[in-house]
Structure 1
Amino acid sequence: MIDEATARERVVSTADRLFYAHGVQAVGMDTVRAESGVSLKRIYALFPSKDDLVLAVLRHRTNQWNTGIAGAVADAVTPRDKVLAIFDFLAAWFREDSFRGCAFINVFGELGGGSNRVAEAVRAQKASFQCRVAELVRAAGGPGYLAPQLVLLAEGAQTTAAISQDPDTAAHARAAAETLIRCALGDSENAPTV
């Protein structure tokens, strides 16, 4: 018998993969059981409701997102490049075979109107991302209005790339971000080029 932490991780990663590929409502708990190899009784002991499992998947996705953004930002050199690294992260993600858009937007579209807990979790993740972008913009010496504009570009790029199946959407969003940054901060020797 597997320990609780392993069972929880197996169920969450399986549900994440299935929900992301097929949608939350299309995937029953019995499918999660069959794919994860964890009994239904144990799944319900770990996650008393499907909403509880969805929330665990969203926490898992939040950790993946934060780790991905942090890694991209860490590899960038200048403060402006750190802001633009968000779009480089998106570019790599959009090229993954499994890319189906933003899991948070997808889940909100499916369940947000019927589950306050899911809606709050999605809003919290989006607010956290906005705060992270605002920190990067401040570090680059940018004005407060720039961060929400860049967040809109990143969020819009995710949706557009998913619908159009065009991974180059990230490059277009990055070019628009470079223009916004230049307009807000002015041209300098450190300004990114298109």
Structure 2
Amino acid sequence: MKKESVDERIMQTAARLFYTQGYNLTGINQLIDEAGIAKPSLYNNYRSKTDVLLAYLDRQASALFDALEGHLREIQGARNKIIGIFEYSIARNHATNFGGCPFLKINAEIMPSEKIVLERVQAVKSRFRDLLFQLVTGLDDKKGFSDQALADMLYFMLEGSRASASISKQIADMESAIATIKMII
């Protein structure tokens, strides 16, 4: 078996298990068994469960932003792109059956001392914040808000409405956030 196919099986299995049952409840032996690989195959690719987690987070981030950029590519204008980010998040909530943000799920499970994992989660959230800030700078009417204040507000609305959708298992709060944004920008 090629290294890539073993790695892919590890990552697909880790993604499913970490997302559905959690990182802490997923043991190395379960990961090995469900991936259908030998223990040495895992350790030929990753030194530890933390390394598997880091690779999972990197892949999740890459897939998320690739898909988001693809979604936004066809949308014209900063205002419409901002709304498009929220619409994309609604679609992701539906696709995951309101399972929640994989990065926040991991963040809730790790200890503060696991700095490298925390940095990966923070990097994803910072990337969303930066994207919103870049888009805000292209808006004509900011209703008196500074670029930073408006970008922060949009970020908090995005994160809050996504969390609310995950809790309530419905998109009403995300739709409400979009309606509010349309009034503001």
TM-score by length of 1: 0.86
Are 2:65 and 1:74 equivalent residues in the alignment?
A: no
Relative distance call for 1:10 and 1:56 in structure 2 (3 A) is same
CA contact (8 A) 2:98 2:170 kept: no
1:33-44 to 2 correspondences below 5 Å: 33-44=32-43
Q: How many residues align?
A: 180
Aligned equivalent of 2:165: 161
Q: What is the CA distance between 1:104 and its match in structure 2?
A: 0.7
Q: What is the CA distance between 1:136 and its match in structure 2?
A: 1.5
Aligned equivalent of 1:24: 23
Q: What is the CA distance between 1:163 and its match in structure 2?
A: 1.2
Q: What is the CA distance between 1:68 and its match in structure 2?
A: 2.3
1:35-54 to 2 correspondences below 5 Å: 35-54=34-53
Relative distance call for 1:45 and 1:26 in structure 2 (3 A) is same
Aligned equivalent of 1:93: 92
Aligned equivalent of 2:179: 175
Structure 1: unaligned runs, 5 residues or longer = 182-194
Q: What is the CA distance between 1:38 and its match in structure 2?
A: 2.1
Q: Which deviates further from its counterpart, 12-21 or 109-118?
A: 109-118
Are 2:155 and 1:151 equivalent residues in the alignment?
A: yes
The structure 1 segments of at least 4 consecutive aligned residues displaced by more than 3 Å after TM superposition are none
1:97 and 1:128 map into 2 onto residues whose CA distance is 21
Q: Which deviates further from its counterpart, 120-129 or 30-39?
A: 30-39
Give me the CA root mean square deviation. 1.6
TM-score by length of 2: 0.90
1:80 and 1:97 map into 2 onto residues whose CA distance is 26
